[in-house]
Chains A and B, each alone.
Chain A
Amino acid sequence: MATPGVRGAAGVLRLLPRLNPTAARAMLVSEGRLLVRNPGVVIWAAILPVAADIILGSIPGVRAPADALGGLSFFAVYQPILIFFGLTLLALNALPDVLTRYREMGVLKRLRTTPVSPALLLFAQLTLIFAVAVACMVVMIVVPGVVGGAWPRNLVGFLVSYLLGAWAILGLGMLIASLFHNAKVAAGFGSFLFFVLQFFAGLWWQRTNMPPWLRHISDVTPSGAAVQSLMDSSEGHWPTWLHLIVMAVWGIATTRLAIRLFSWE
């Protein structure tokens, strides 16, 4: 049921002028402190892909080109998958979890009674989650690179792919937080979507080995497009326009929908 000012784009956007830099900084500090005191979800989301990436990257045999993977090494195929794995886990599990719980607890509603916008809290959480994801990504590139693995050969292409992929996937996380008001339901749906996206990213069945029709579907998912773009950039190519556009469209669509559907209570 639509209630003006409570739900919908108008409800979110009308409070945007109430963003205030002092309050934004205070909110970021406060949320950061809470994250450090309650790091469970974030550590869980970060530790598995980072550990897997470092272990795989440290084994020379894994870094050798393999015919079964179209001449790419096992590590070259899995590094982008693992980087996106961490990002997805943070965006689809950690982010909706904290936002839906804040909504259930009435934190967002309480913020609405103050002169600042509750959107400050959303920005603070997005910033923190994104910062953790970037930190994981950096570790996942630097550590294997230092121990003898390959560095991304097209760093600009790699970063552009990462940013667009992050936008698409964080947008999906925000959309889950907008669609589901029950934290447990949101977590369940986030996990389901996580596995679907990992499938299309090629976690179990590498994209190079997918039949063409399945790869075409994977191409238009945010995870398939992001992983392929990261892989192309690592190999020194530029990501294809198709994949960049797919990620941007997911980013725009999920952001718009999330803003339209989000409610403070």
Chain B
Amino acid sequence: MPVIEVSHLRKTYGERVVVDDVSFCVEEGEIFGVLGPNGAGKTTMVECVGGLRHPDRGTIRVAGMDPSSESAAFRETLGIQLQESRLPDKIRVGEALDLYASFYPDPRDPGDLMEHLGLTGQRSTYFSKLSGGQKQRLSVALALIGNPRVAILDELTTGLDPVARREVWGLLEGLREGGVTLLLVSHFMEEAERLCDRVIVIDRGRVIAADTPEALAAAVQADQRMTFVPSDRFDPAMAQMLQALPDVHTVTTDAGRVVVTGTDNVASAVIIALHEHGVSVGRLRVDQPSLDDAFVALTGDDAVDPVVGVDAAGTSQREA
């Protein structure tokens, strides 16, 4: 029995279709990723799931409830960590958690949550004095204070430095063990690869892929790519020799480094062949096809040139 069911969701702002015929299910206890380039409609989609926007078409059920009812029972079931939502400057961390705990019938203990999230030392710190990572962790804490079955986390590591990002990831892995179902919106493939059980990729409001991160990466059938620095001079004859190997597809050199692409066996084939010619490989690096490659392949080159209008529509609509 899926805890989140979305079917044929459609949302438009005026003429612009922001979410178009999106369907997916999330099982209890999963970390489910929603990936896509900026402006793909991810936030609008999860805000529909969170009952903050009302879809034009389609149905959404979270634990069997319709989000647009915005019933208290729905709000107790679903915690939401919003993108770019701040607190008053002069509220202390402990005060904010106590306040939000008072909104729920069966909240988590604010002290436990602070400890779990590494915020105990900041209990008496003003919100304005927190670092970016601490603000994000507080934001996650506020989404979890009500002891929700499901939590939506929107771009929670955007703008964090790598250390803080890893802190938050560690925290989410802990949550999974606690049985909370997570809907994670991200445009970091590394994040999805590490955390998500399954992902959907959204581009221009449509679902263009849905699978496990590993399956998506494998499906693009990108070549393995190895780079190394040869121990001896690497002449064109050597390159031709490698190129002739059945596992090798391309051979290029770049500033003393050799880059070879090919099948799964390319690395061992190249190393053995070079060894027979008395050359060893240094600073070897082999890259698997990653979710990053899959993402680029799926969303195309213009993924870096997002449909700016989509998120801008959300913003201007708020300003209107």
Contact = CB atoms under 8 A, between A and B. Distances in A.
Contacts of A14: 70
Interface in B45-103: 50-54, 68, 70, 72, 75-76, 78-80, 82, 84-91, 95, 98-100, 102-103
B14 interface: yes
Interface stretch (A19-27, A82-90, A160-168, A224-232): A19-27
Contact of B99 (A1, A26, A38): A26
Contacts of B105: 115
Nearest to B139: A110
Contacts of A5: 51, 53-54, 68, 70
A116 interface: yes
Interface string A1-45: 101111000000011011010110011001001100110000000
Contacts of B78: 113
Given A5-B68, A37-B90, A114-B103, A105 B85 contact: yes
Contact of A3 (B54, B70, B90): B54
Given A20-B103, A109-B52, A115-B104, A30 B79 contact: no
A56 interface: no
Contact of B87 (A18, A105, A112): A105
Contacts of A113: 50, 52, 75, 78-80, 82, 143
Contacts of B319: 181-182
A23 B103 contact: yes
B305 to A, nearest CB: 26
Contacts, number: 89
A240 B13 CA distance: 50
B146 interface: yes
A116 B103 contact: yes
Contacts of A6: 52-54
Interface residues of B, number: 39
Contacts of B53: 3, 5-6
B85 A107 contact: yes
A248 B48 CA distance: 40
Nearest to A111: B103
A113 B104 CA distance: 11
B268 interface: no
B142 A110 contact: yes
B1 interface: no
A235 interface: no
A263 B320 CA distance: 10
B72 A181 contact: no
A181 B319 CA distance: 6
A110 B70 contact: no
A60 interface: no
B318 A33 contact: no
Contacts of A112: 52, 70
A212 B247 CA distance: 100
A1 B318 CA distance: 9
B91 A34 contact: yes
B240 interface: no
With a 10 A CB-CB cut-off, give which of B50, B52, B80, B146 has the most chain A CB atoms.
B52
A115 B85 contact: no
A34 B98 contact: no
Nearest to A110: B85
Nearest to B77: A115
Given A6-B52, A15-B70, A113-B50, A107 B95 contact: no
A106 interface: yes
A46 B281 CA distance: 78
A15 B13 CA distance: 24
A220 B72 CA distance: 43
Contacts of B72: 17-18, 115
Interface in B276-320: 317-320
24 contacts: A3-B53, A4-B54, A5-B70, A6-B54, A18-B75, A20-B103, A23-B102, A26-B102, A30-B99, A33-B95, A38-B90, A105-B85, A110-B82, A110-B142, A113-B75, A113-B80, A114-B75, A114-B104, A114-B146, A115-B104, A115-B146, A181-B319, A263-B318, A265-B318
Interface of B: 13-14, 50-54, 68, 70, 72, 75-76, 78-80, 82, 84-91, 95, 98-100, 102-105, 142-143, 146, 317-320
Given A5-B68, A106-B84, A113-B50, 8 more contacts: A3-B53, A23-B103, A30-B99, A33-B95, A38-B90, A110-B85, A113-B82, A265-B318
